[in-house]
Amino acid sequence: MPKAPAEPVSEGRQTPTRPEVSVVVPVFNESGAAADLAREIAAAFAGHSLEILFVDDCSRDDTRARLLALKAEIPALRVLGHSANAGQSRAVRTGVLAARGDIIVTLDGDGQNDPADAPRLVEALKSGPPELALVGGERMRRQDSAAKKVASRIGNGVRKRLLRDTANDTGCGLKAFRREAFLRLPYFDHIHRYLPALMLREGYATAFLPVGHRPRTTGSSKYTNLGRLWASISDLWGVMWLQSRARRPGAVIEL
């Protein structure tokens, strides 16, 4: 059996012009949204030391081709592609592993997160105490169906009560976090919904800021309420188990 290719751990980190911020955007069949979103991200971070990584999770439409056509227009743009569909969390991890920046920003690829909010999260992360590792967005005036909002409210309430992660909206894709902290976390599918709890487990601090939310204008959601519920049940038990098995060493000193 041929050996599986290694993940792109840190190839770009040896370049002398490392950006400060790496924006990671997972996309799957987002042909109608991806190009405009890339332009919006570049505009939002104008003047910043930046790279933009779109990770195409084996789209069946022309998402990848549209992004590749933008590389000349947006020099900061990098396009990574999966050869098999692996899900949103794996696409985020692929982007973080390949990122050169020490600060990661994630956004959903459907255009519902407003990139104009992202620099504010980055500044909050940079100006916070050393232990602050993640600043998450909390969507205000969500532009989703009533059923989706109700399901999200229930799911967030149950998760927050069981995990005590202080987060009101872990489903918001807009987050800023430290790359090093993320790479210390155990990986599993759907980890993107449990980043606050896992950061706290490692002894980091988290914070949250209100952000905007826009209606989806192209494509369709990749999740259903039933599918999300089924995954959340097993994920919650798994994260609770990880919390129960955490043992922190306190301050580490070299002797």
Global pTM reads 0.85
Amino acid letter at 50?
L
Q: Which residue has the tokens 């038990």?
A: 237
> Could you give the CA distance from residue 68 to residue 138 in angstroms, rounded to a whole number?
31
Q: Are 177 and 134 in contact (CB under 8 A)?
A: yes
How high is the pLDDT of residue 44? 98
What pLDDT score does 14 carry? 42
Q: Residues 107-139: pLDDT tens digits?
A: 999 999 999 999 999 999 999 999 999 999 998
In the chain the domains, ranked by start, together with CATH numbers, are 18-215+222-244 (3.90.550.10)
Residue 220 pLDDT: 64
Rounded mean pLDDT for each run of 10 residues along the chain, 255 residues in total: 47 64 98 97 97 98 97 97 96 98 97 97 97 95 67 73 87 96 95 94 96 84 57 84 90 89
At 252, list the tokens: 């580490």
Q: Which residues contact 154 (CB under 8 A, 6 or more apart)?
A: none
Query: Could you write out the DSSP letters of every residue in the chain?
Result: -PPPPPP--SGGGGSSS--SEEEEEEESS-TTTHHHHHHHHHHHTTTS-EEEEEEE---SSSHHHHHHTTTTT-TTEEEEE-SS---HHHHHHHHHHH--SSEEEE--TTS-S-GGGHHHHHHHHHHS-TTEEEEEEEESS--S-HHHHHHHHHHHHHHHHHH----S-TT---EEEEHHHHHTSPP-TTGGGSHHHHHHHTT-EEEEEEE------SS--S--HHHHHHHHHHHHHHHHHHHHT-----S----
Give the residue among 62, 49, 151 at the shortest CA–CA distance from 101.
Answer: 49
Q: What is the pLDDT of residues 192-222, one digit of tens each?
A: 989 999 999 999 999 999 999 998 888 666 5
Place of tokens 């590389």: 71
Strand partners, 78: 53
